[in-house]
Amino acid sequence: MNKVYFNTVRLFLVAACLLVFGVSVRAASTVRPQWVQKGESFMNAKRTNDSYVFKIFHTSDADLNRVMEEEFQPLLDYVRDTWHAVPETMRLDSLVAEGVPSTFRVSFRDASGREGAVLARRVDTWLSFEDFASNEYEFEYYQLYAVSARDGVVDFDEFEPTTASKPVAAMLSVVPGLGQLYKGDTRKGLAIIGGEVAFGAAALIFQHCANRNQRHVDAGEFPVDSWESKVAGYKLVRNVSLGAMGAIWVFSIIDAGVADALPKVLVRDSSAGQIDITPAPNSAGLRLVYNF
């Protein structure tokens, strides 16, 4: 086997290894929450009932104060567009009651003059700072809300923003990529698993080729030097592949224990022994129903 071939193979293996690390680093550069990455349909599939829907609101501006001052505007726009609310009649109230966290009531009159109200529970938020190469920047603000139907009894699930444990992820990465999958970083986990499989397959293939040519050496076939050179070349590429596997494995463990985990929201059924809330369109404000 000629030298050019082996150099080409080695370059391919190095490029593949760099690709794995490149994908991993890129995935780590923007740790957006799972609900931001996967969207409303992903979150709505987690609901245990249909009394509400998940809505994701996104605003951006170079002025952080303006972003925060208008944080409720996307919610009001959603209510206006969904139930044809007249903007001048809309009112946003914050509900302060035991067991009712970060919940808001939007009351309104629609185009036909009928009163209505919906409840919205803020589940999680995420604020990021984007610095662009053109010396421009802006703040990106995402909000995850659970929004009830109009004037209906709503049974919000229990929502728990959380992140995976880094020590647990590091231990799971004894199997390369498993720790990243546990942390919710699917792209990085699949890149690591794919790299290990590719280099493992390459090591097996080149070991097989080395064994096959070694039989010619053992049989003393002419030219022996040529067969020995091929065996040495195959084993060299096999060793490069095994080294790449080891490097990716070590990287997987270190990355799982150090890199930030993907924030996500757990959704649990909370109907038993909880208070259901009905948004009243009039001055009564709320009706509470206790479920056993």
- Per-domain boundaries in the chain: 3-27+168-258, 31-157+275-290
Token pair of 78 as six digits: 């959603």
Structure confidence at residue 287 as a pLDDT band (50, 70, 90): very low
Q: Is the pLDDT of residue 27 over 50?
A: no
- The pLDDT value recorded for residue 101 is 63
Task: With both helix axes pointing from N to C terminus, report the angle between 186-218 and 3-29 in degrees, rounded to the nearest 10.
Answer: 160
Residue 11 in tokens: 């370059």
Cβ(60)–Cβ(73) below 8 Å: no
**Whole-number pLDDT of residue 292:** 37
pLDDT at residue 234, rounded to an integer? 92
Q: What pLDDT is stored for residue 1 in this prediction?
A: 46
Residue in the structure block whose two tokens are 């044809």: 84
Contacts of 27 (CB under 8 A, 6+ apart): 185, 187, 188, 191
Kindly state the average pLDDT of the residues 11-30: 54
pTM beyond 0.85, yes or no = no
Question: Measuring CA to CA, how many Å separate 128 from each of 136, 188, 208, 236, 247?
Answer: 14, 21, 51, 47, 32
Taking the C-alpha atoms of residue 71 and residue 56, their distance in angstroms, rounded to an integer, is 12
Q: What is the pLDDT of residue 114?
A: 96
Q: Residue 110's beta-bridge partner residues?
A: 85
Nearest residue to 192 (alpha-carbon basis) of 238, 245, 254, 239: 245
Is the CA virtual torsion 235, 239, 240, 242 positive or negative?
positive
pLDDT score of 194:
94
